[in-house]
Amino acid sequence: MATVELTAQNIESQITENGIVFVDFWAEWCGPCRMFGPIFEKASQEHADVVFGKVDTEAEQALAASAGITSIPTLMAFRDGILVFSQPGALPAPTFEDLIGQVKALDMDAVRASIAEAQAGEGAAEA
């Protein structure tokens, strides 16, 4: 599967309707982005069960701002609509492959329980 161009119009549906989504926030003028691009594209062809989307931060400035992007490239990973990874910087291919494996292996019931526990703690702190 090739990478998908993500925009303000389609990013939410891509994240919520697919199990695992990796998002690469990039720009044409960014050297590290151009270095990471082929690694991201190759992974998209090797993992047909995962959606790999790219956000051009120049064309989608409002989307990048709403996502809190302050440095590019920034890589985000979503699983079952939940943000499970976010980090600026280009990753070497072996590290990216390892990350893909880790996201696939996540126990999402444990992740949801952890989120619920954290939210309950926030509610108690506000009371």
Options 30, 43, 51, 69, the catalytic residue: 30
All residues at 6 or more sequence positions from 22 whose CB lies less than 8 Å from its CB, including other chains: 40, 43, 50, 51, 52, 53, 75, 76, 77, 78, 100, 103
Options 11, 15, 23, 33, the catalytic residue: 33
Phi, psi of 82 (to 5 degrees): -105, 130
Does residue 30 carry a catalytic annotation?
yes
Nearest to 36 by CA among 77, 95, 85: 95
Nearest to 72 by CA among 83, 84, 63: 63
Catalytically active residues are 30, 33
